[in-house]
Structure 1
Amino acid sequence: FQRACVCASRLPPGNMSKRGKKNEEVADSDNGTGPAAKKGKKEAEPPILYEDPPDKLTSKDGRAAGLKITSWNVDGLRAWVKKKGLDWVREESPDVLCLQETKCAEKALPGEITSMPEYPHKYWAGSEDKEGYSGVAMLCKTEPINVTYGIGKEEHDKEGRVITAEFPNYFLVTAYVPNASRGLVRLDYRKTWDVDFRAYLSDLDKRKPLILCGDLNVAHQEIDLKNPKGNRKNAGFTPEEREGFTQLLDAGFVDSFRELYPDQAYAYTFWTYMMNARGKNVGWRLDYFVLSKALLPSLCDSKIRNTAMGSDHCPITLHMAV
């Protein structure tokens, strides 16, 4: 693997369990599985699930898809490998595989990853000071023109959250955006990150269009999580984080999934492990493919592979005619 030399850490991502627990508390009432149901006031209703439709492999102007990118927050690379995540990847066979929250130092990488012949070009960024924290990776079938790490600001780059690969017609950025954390103790930092990250992406966009993928740790609109009312003060759905994402879109970028499926509800990419949240589809859409507007004519499809197991997130896949 090639990697960045990053050497500091912060508190764990935080608030995932709290966020999920809050979701479940509201969801119990919504789904008829809470106290009211137990008292006989309401019968349980089956969860509303999202079915990923067949892939669209042509752009609006009729060009065939020639690029396939998959992004997945694996919630620990070693555990994900043990859960057969790589089996799914081999079936999906993307041209580029982007991973977030790898939580694995280079010296501890599983041999199953380092020896994958399908992806001869592998890039890694993570914190060296704290094992089991943050981290992103990018595995490519074709060698990029150039690869860089971070966004050029030490306060952010020390956490190993961003890899950027330059290809002939576009940049590909994979990111694991900081969580505002339990009690929103890192919300101010997250607001600073949003401003600096947006500036970084805008600078790239001036050179050539880009694709941003990863766990962006925000559910942008109410349609993007099961229980918006109960989560307005929780990390991932605060007004500040949502506004940060809005400002990113206003800067010339597009949420590819919402571009194609503007009214699709119940389409989530994260579910807490607690209380059968995934089985009840009590989730959040936290994982995205965001595109420069210049790439919209090349967009074929943006997929949520919610049946793929191995993490508390599911993978997402992008088809482009570039």
Structure 2
Amino acid sequence: MSTTITTVNVNGIRAAVKQRSEVNPGMLAWLTQTDSDIVLMQEVRASEKQAREALQPALDAGWHLAMSESVVKGHAGVGVLSRTEPQDVRVGFGSDEFDATGRYLEADFDAEFGPLTVASLYLPKGAAAPTDASTDKEAEKFEEKKRFLDGFGAHMTALARRRRHLVIGGDWNIAHAEADIKNWKGNLRSPGFLPHEREWVGARLDGGWTDVVRALHPGLDGPYSWWSWRGKAFDNDSGWRIDYQLANRSLAGRATKAFVDRADTYDRRWSDHAPVTVVYE
């Protein structure tokens, strides 16, 4: 038996579920078609009550929702949709600064192959490295992301020691390597591709975690999972691969298939991110 897990930044759950046109029925239609057992959501940007209202048809159909909303209204928010109810849910990673900001949620399940913990992560976007021309807000966003990376990195180190199957899926807001961003030369100073960010991801991969999508697609540019709404980025596949599933050693070897559920055309998109799915046998 297998467990199929998807991660997707929904870019606002209330917008994602709306039928935008005849050819774009939205996320609810996608949920009726997916084979996924668990869907990790980021940037829900709604209270739990609002998210449940938006997802009510899916919940009526048997999906279960666990959520961590942000104390800042309409900002961040992560959730776990699952076909079976979680055995336990934990909000945050022990951070006084970030646990109430809707950026991290863990849920435990009993998978066919043993105890499984899944986590949904929405890592801060950050900002470019501060210069004399930077605003105070830009400098603070840069430092905020560094603080998150420090705290969450320690949490991942502790998680890696656990024996149960573990996967952290989400919008990591970091393209780790040149193969993970189409225009890498033009983004060397952009947040999400800064040296210290890429080194941080590398340290996680050296510390017991596997980027299972990359492991199943070695030597391939992409597959990208985010494209700007602007211009021809989507049509030209000029994207970023920033939506990862990082699995610990006990689970990584069970990943047999991974794919990005990229919309056929621009007008069929219900988020600026595409769902990233991995099958674990």
Q: Same fold (TM over 0.5)?
A: yes
Instruction: Select the residue among 257, 265, 274 that pairs with 2:230.
Output: 274
State how far apart, in whole Å, the 2-side matches of 1:110 and 1:158 are: 19
Deviations 1:295-320 (A, max 9, x none): 23211112111127201100111100
State how far apart, in whole Å, the 2-side matches of 1:181 and 1:199 are: 22
| Equivalent residue letter for 1:298 | R
State how far apart, in whole Å, the 1-side matches of 2:235 and 2:88 are: 42
Distance 1:223 1:154, change over 3 A: same
Match of 1:258 in 2: 214
Deviation at 1:94, TM superposition (A): 1.2
Instruction: Select the residue among 270, 274, 281 that pairs with 1:314.
Output: 274
1:82 counterpart = 2:18: yes
Instruction: Select the residue among 70, 90, 97 that pairs with 1:155.
Output: 97
1:201 counterpart = 2:156: yes
Deviation at 1:210, TM superposition (A): 0.8
What's the secondary structure of 2:251's corresponding residue? Answer: helix
Match of 1:124 in 2: 67
Displaced runs of 4+ in structure 1, greater than 6 A?
none
Instruction: Select the residue among 254, 257, 260 that pairs with 1:304.
Output: 260
Greater share of residues in strand = 2
TM-score under structure 1 normalisation? 0.75
Match of 1:164 in 2: 106
Deviation at 1:213, TM superposition (A): 0.3
- Aligned-residue Cα RMSD (Å) equals 1.7
| Equivalent residue letter for 1:100 | Q
Q: In terms of Rg, which structure is larger?
A: 1
1:71 counterpart = 2:7: yes
Deviations 1:32-90 (A, max 9, x none): xxxxxxxxxxxxxxxxxxxxxxxxxxxxxxxxx51011111011111100141110121
Match of 2:35 in 1: 93
Deviates more, 1:255-264 or 1:199-208: 199-208
Deviates more, 1:266-275 or 1:116-125: 116-125
What's the secondary structure of 2:55's corresponding residue? Answer: helix
Pairwise mapping of residues 223-234 of structure 1 onto structure 2 (< 5 A)?
A: 223-234=179-190
Gaps of 5+ in 2: 20-25, 129-133
Instruction: Select the residue among 86, 92, 97 that pairs with 1:144.
Output: 86
Larger relative contact order, structure 1 or 2 (CA cutoff 8 Å, min sep 6): 1
What's the secondary structure of 1:197's corresponding residue? Answer: helix
State how far apart, in whole Å, the 1-side matches of 2:210 and 2:117 are: 15
| Equivalent residue letter for 2:225 | T
What's the secondary structure of 1:193's corresponding residue? Answer: helix
Deviation at 1:112, TM superposition (A): 4.4
Q: How many residues align?
A: 256
